[in-house]
């Protein structure tokens, strides 16, 4: 819309003044003009027609300009209808008061055509820009909301797909905006389950897209490797494959901390590679302990990186817990972190149940209880894998 | 975030103070980019007064290191406190960066 199509309401109790303003505005190119001879009529017009701009005289009988301005402000219409006060040059205090009340500008009487053109033009342009920004923001928010839903739909919550020997559960509570956490699990072949958990540096759309890329590469990479090589890949090989892909065109230096592992029934082992992620927590008998090795650098940092495989026994009745740092670093209202000690204790507390879902639910409930009313800053993601007792 | 530049043993030393998290990271990112763009591609980042570093903070350091490498310069990190060092270790970044116990050590090293 060009600013000349703007609907302008001229309010002045002196007919001559209205006529002059009308003529000047028409000469400047504005054609969508209305007039009101007093404050009451002006307010009535604003409420029913929502003009883009009101040129409002201060001194008027019945209802003066300040009262009209206050009423427009009270009706919360100042964003839609800009107000420019018309005042004698001597009324400085009144002008200041009107600007405080939300008037955009003022026009001194008598009217100077150049000042009139400049002020009205700038007020209308500002208004157009603001409306445009608002429209863009609304669009962006809508798109972000859709992106977030898509992202959540990308991680699977169908836990009955890992075969009878395993029991898996995972949960993700995203922070407000789209984030970069991911988890995945699937049965690669009978008796072998892949699990993965990761966290992309940063937040927002770039992190979410990077996460989506990683998530697709992970599954496809494992299956393709197996088909081409005729054997299961080692976790370090999966990691290297992802790293090569994600290092390409990564100018913004996004990276992904990732833990990928395979649990094998035949070997009674869990083999994993850890690219900068928190160590896995092993649940065995009565205890929970973090299996700490020096981590390799995250995925996407440096091409040609060599990753290391680690392993621990993973027999019938054993379990393991993977989390993102959003869990351990979750802060309560006082800023205190959830912390590793409480995290390990909460892992142990669920052990007697033996079910992945119960361990995961209890853990997540404990973190959520810790956070309380504090705003979650980071995504909270966890994955629990158990070998069913034979 | 406060960022101070000085010279030590004729080497440029950049010291960020405070928390390097998502709200502050862009400040340091701009500062380091400007430094590299103006041709200062050999410098030490003094982390002695850095209280906290998040993953986005790590990616700022990484991004600077990549740019410096392309410009055939050299960047070193010095004087990491316990907490920042732990983050570097857990995240595996300790293997990526050139890390020195002190600014002195970083500036005299060849």
Please name every residue paired with A169 in a beta bridge, in sequence order, or none if there are none.
Answer: A384
Please spell the DSSP secondary structure of A80-117, one letter per residue: TSEEEEEEETT-HHHHHHHHHHT--EEEEESPPHHHHH
- Compute and round to an integer the Cα radius of gyration of chain A: 32
pLDDT tens digits along A247-287: 988 877 889 999 999 999 999 999 999 999 999 999 988 78
- Give the Cα separation of A138 and A97 in Å (integer): 33
The strand order across the sheet containing A33-36 reads A33-36, A8-11, A53-57, A82-88, A105-109
Which of the listed residues A136, A163, A183 is the one where a domain comes to its end? A136
B63/A253 CB distance under 8 A? yes
**What is the model's pLDDT at position A378?**
80
Whether B90 sits inside 8 A of A295 (CB atoms) is yes
CATH of the domain at A50: 3.40.50.2300
For A261-290, b/e burial (b = at least 16 CB within 10 A) is bbbbbeeebbbbbbbbbbbbbbbbeeebee
User: Mean pLDDT for chain A?
Assistant: 90
Does residue A165 have a cis peptide bond before it, meaning omega lies within 30 degrees of 0? no
| Residue A149 within a domain | no
* Domain-embedded: residue A274: yes
**Rounded mean pLDDT of A287-310?**
92
According to the model, what pLDDT value does residue B109 have?
Answer: 66
Question: What confidence category does residue A176 fall into, taking pLDDT thresholds of 50, 70 and 90?
Answer: low
Q: Which of A40, A45, A79 lies closest to A61, judged by CA?
A: A40
In a domain, A225, yes or no: yes
Question: Is residue A195 a part of any domain in this protein?
Answer: yes
B-contacting residues in A 154-183 (Cβ below 8 Å): none
What tokens appear for A333 in the block? 């209202």
Q: What is the pLDDT of residue A352?
A: 67
Asked if the model's pLDDT at residue A75 lies above 80, the reply is yes
Same domain for A340 and A192?
yes
| B67 contacts in chain A (CB < 8 Å) | none
Q: Write out chain B residues lying below 8 Å of A203, CB-based.
A: 22, 56
Taking contacts as CB-CB distances below 8 angstroms, the residues of chain B near A201 are: 55-56, 58-59
Q: What is the DSSP letter of A351?
A: G
Residues A294 and A351 in one domain: yes
Closest partner CB to B92 (pick from A199, A202, A297): A297
- Confidence band for A95, pLDDT divided at 50, 70 and 90: confident
E-only strand ranges, B1-110: 2-8, 11-20, 42-46, 50-53, 74-78, 99-100
Asked if residue A51 and residue A183 are part of one domain, the reply reads: no
Is residue A262 domain-resident? Answer: yes
Domain count, chain A: 2
Looking at chain A, which residue has its C-alpha nearest residue B91? A276
CA distances from A52 to A25, A128, A229, B18 (A): 14, 10, 69, 47
According to the model, what pLDDT value does residue A353 have?
66
- Which of A211, A236, A240, A255 has the highest number of chain B CBs within 10 A, making it the mutation to test binding with B? A255
Please indicate, yes or no, whether residues A131 and A160 belong to a single structural domain of this protein.
no
Mean of pLDDT values over A25-31: 93
- Do A258 and A381 sit in the same domain of this protein? yes
Q: Judge whether residue A89 has pLDDT over 70.
A: no
Do residue A248 and residue A320 come from a single domain? Answer: yes
Which CATH number fits the domain that encloses residue A172?
A: 3.60.40.10
H or E segment and range at residue A320: strand A319-323
CB crowding A73-86: b at 16 or more within 10 Å, else e = eeeebbeebbbbbb
Domain co-membership, A258 together with A167: yes
Residues A205 and A330 occupy one common structural domain: yes
Is A148 a domain residue?
A: no
Count the domains in chain B: 1
Q: Are residues A30 and A115 in the same domain?
A: yes
**Are A99 and A34 contained in the same domain?**
yes
For residue A145, being part of any structural domain is answered with no
Percent of chain A with pLDDT over 70: 97
- Write out residues 197-216 of A within 8 Å (CB-CB) of B: 199, 201-203
Mean pLDDT score, A182-190: 94
One domain for residues A185 and A233: yes
Please check the confidence at residue A90 and state whether its pLDDT lies above 80: no
Looking at the structure, tell me whether residues A60 and A183 fall in a common domain.
no
Residue pLDDT, tens place only, B96-110:
899 999 999 999 865
pLDDT digits (tens, 9 = 90+) for A96-120: 899 999 999 999 888 888 999 999 9
Give the model's pLDDT for residue A350.
Answer: 63
A362, pLDDT greater than 70: yes
B94: Cα within 13 Å, side-chain hemisphere? 17
Residues (pLDDT < 50) of chain B are: none
Mean pLDDT value across residues A7-11:
96
Domain CATH code at residue B49: 3.30.750.24
Residue A150, domain member (yes or no) = no
Strands A181-189 and A166-173, bridge-based pairing: unpaired
HSE-up (13 A, CA, CB side) for residue A266:
6
Domain span at residue B8 reads 2-108
Q: What percent of chain A has pLDDT over 90?
A: 63
pLDDT at A336 over 80: yes
Q: Which domain holds residue A23?
A: 3-136
Residue the block writes with tokens 């973090």:
A290
Residues 6+ apart with CB under 8 A from A196: A182, A183, A184, A185, A218, A258, A259, A260, A261
All residues of chain A having their beta carbon less than 8 Å from the beta carbon of residue B63 are 252-253
């Amino acid at each position: 819309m060009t600013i000349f199509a703007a609907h302008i309401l001229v309010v002045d109790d002196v007919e001559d003044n209205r006529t002059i303003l009308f003529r000047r505005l028409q000469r400047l190119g504005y054609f969508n003009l209305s007039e009101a001879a007093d404050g009451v009529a002006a307010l009535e017009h604003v409420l029913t027609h929502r003009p883009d701009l009101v040129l409002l005289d201060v001194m008027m009988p019945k209802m003066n300009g300040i009262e009209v301005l206050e009423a427009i402000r009270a009706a919360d219409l100042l964003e839609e209808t800009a107000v420019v006060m018309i005042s004698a040059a001597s009324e400085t205090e009144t002008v200041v008061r009107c600007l405080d009340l939300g008037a955009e500008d003022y026009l001194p009487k008598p009217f100077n055509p150049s000042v009139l053109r400049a002020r009205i033009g700038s007020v209308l342009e500002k208004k157009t820009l603001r409306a445009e920004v608002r429209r863009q923001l609304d669009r962006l928010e809508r798109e972000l909301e859709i992106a977030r839903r898509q992202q959540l739909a990308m991680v699977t919550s169908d836990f009955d797909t890992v075969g009878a020997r395993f029991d898996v559960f995972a949960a993700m509570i995203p922070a407000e905006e789209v984030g970069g956490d991911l988890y995945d699990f699937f049965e690669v072949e009978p008796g072998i389950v892949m699990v993965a958990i990761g966290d992309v540096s940063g937040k927002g759309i770039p992190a979410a897209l990077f996460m989506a890329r990683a998530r697709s590469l992970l599954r496809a990479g494992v299956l393709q490797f197996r088909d081409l090589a005729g054997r299961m890949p080692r976790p370090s090989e999966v990691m290297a494959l992802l790293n090569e892909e994600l290092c390409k065109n990564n100018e913004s230096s996004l990276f992904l901390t990732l833990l990928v592992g395979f649990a094998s029934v035949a070997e009674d082992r869990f083999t994993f590679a850890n690219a900068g992620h928190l160590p896995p927590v092993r649940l065995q008998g009565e205890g929970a302990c973090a299996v700490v090795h020096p981590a390799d650098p995250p995925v996407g940092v440096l091409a040609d990186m060599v990753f290391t495989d680690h392993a621990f026994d993973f027999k019938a009745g054993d379990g393991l817990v993977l989390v993102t740092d959003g869990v351990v670093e979750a802060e309560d209202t006082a800023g205190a972190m959830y912390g590793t000690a409480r995290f390990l204790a909460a892992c142990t507390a669920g052990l007697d149940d033996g079910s992945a879902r119960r361990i995961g639910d209890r853990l997540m409930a404990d973190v959520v209880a810790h956070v309380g009313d504090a705003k979650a800053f980071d995504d909270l993601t966890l994955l629990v894998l158990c070998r069913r007792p034979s | 975030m406060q960022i101070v530049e000085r010279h030590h043993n004729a080497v440029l030393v950049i010291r960020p103070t405070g928390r390097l998290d998502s709200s502050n990271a862009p400040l340091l990112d701009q500062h380091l980019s400007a430094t590299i763009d103006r041709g200062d591609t050999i410098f030490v980042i003094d982390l002695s007064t850095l209280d906290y570093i998040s993953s986005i903070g790590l990616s700022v350091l990484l991004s600077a290191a990549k740019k410096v490498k392309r410009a055939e310069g050299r960047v070193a990190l010095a004087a990491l406190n316990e907490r920042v060092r732990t983050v570097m270790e857990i995240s595996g970044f300790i293997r990526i960066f050139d890390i020195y116990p002190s600014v002195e050590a970083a500036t005299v090293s060849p």
